[in-house]
Amino acid sequence: MQERSERTRRRLVYAGAEMFHRNGYANATLGEIASAAGVTKGALYFHFASKDELAEAVQQRGCALLHDSVRALREAGTPPLQALIDTTHWLAWTLHADPAVAASFRITKECGPPPRGPAGTRPAVVDFHAAWISAVSTLLRLARDAGELRAQGRAWDSAQALVVAAACGIEVMSGTGMPYGELQRKVTALWALLLPALVAEGRAREYRTQAAAAMDAEHTAGTGHTAGTGPAAGTGPADRTAPPRCPEPAPLPGDGDGGGNGSGDGEGAGDGDDSAARDAVRDGAGEGARDTETVRSSR
């Protein structure tokens, strides 16, 4: 029962992410989301009391994916600057492979407080742009502290602003509908220009600017879903291939709440532990807000 409830919830989060990404928060309806997930509205309301709650779960998944991908690179011993390069390629890949990340950016744009969102809209659960800036800035600071960068003092502020602006542009380019292959080539070209300005002369060749071979293999094999497509029949988000080196995120909040799902299939279970996902959201938002101010002040 618990496993069935978790699968249903993950399908709903995946379908919600797709609809928020494709149609926007305001235009996405719970009826369409339930239909896309292959469940009744009663089953949806068993897991989520409102569209706000579903949007929160989508953003928590997006933040957990980002947090886990960075953590996996660090635990593998990847040097910070190479980890930063790989994380930008991960973003390019994931914007096409998992709608939760693209939807998290869009929810932030549409539902964030002014000036991001129109007056009267509900503030976004987390500023996903700030979470992304936090991840980029943290890896760049680690690279500086490890002696990989030559920028110090005011030069460091300029380098940070340049790298953050370039990293944020990846999401913008993806939003134009650019195919993944073209986006990957642009990210590679971006680092070919940035690296000589960041590291000591002659050291740029020490870093790989292309996407990792495993990521290329995933895309070439066609195992990842592209943005705007749904899971194959009979599968849910938990069944699809995840981005390379990105572990499955912590259980989403509320997985396995006891009770029926309103559709007559009698789902039931125990309480889920969503502390890791919530920590990722909270840490990303707090760090990102500070890093956003740093970037603004350097302009």
Per-state percent for the chain, helix, strand, coil, to nearest 5: 65, 0, 35
What are the pLDDT tens digits along the chain (299 aa)? Answer: 788 899 999 999 999 999 999 999 999 999 999 999 999 999 999 999 999 999 999 999 999 999 999 999 999 999 999 999 999 999 999 999 999 999 999 999 998 765 555 655 565 567 899 999 999 999 999 999 999 999 777 789 999 999 999 999 999 999 999 999 999 999 999 999 999 999 999 999 999 999 987 666 555 555 444 333 333 333 333 333 333 222 233 333 333 333 333 333 434 333 333 333 334 334 444 444 444 444 444 43
- Whole-structure pTM value: 0.72
Nearest to 88 by CA among 178, 175, 18, 165: 165
Give the whole-angstrom CA distance, residue 81 versus residue 84: 5
Dihedral sign computed on CA atoms, order 95, 38, 281, 24: positive
Give the whole-angstrom CA distance, residue 253 versus residue 263: 21
CB 20 within 8 A of CB 281: no
**Given this model, what pLDDT does residue 277 score?**
36
**Given this model, what pLDDT does residue 269 score?**
34
Nearest to 64 by CA among 126, 18, 22, 9: 126
**Given this model, what pLDDT does residue 112 score?**
75
Q: Which amino acid is at 268?
A: G
**Given this model, what pLDDT does residue 124 score?**
56
Q: Return the number of other C-beta atoms located less than 10 Å from residue 181's C-beta.
A: 13
**Given this model, what pLDDT does residue 240 score?**
31
DSSP assignment string, 81-117: HHHHHHHHHHHHHHHHH-HHHHHHHHHHHHHSSTTTS
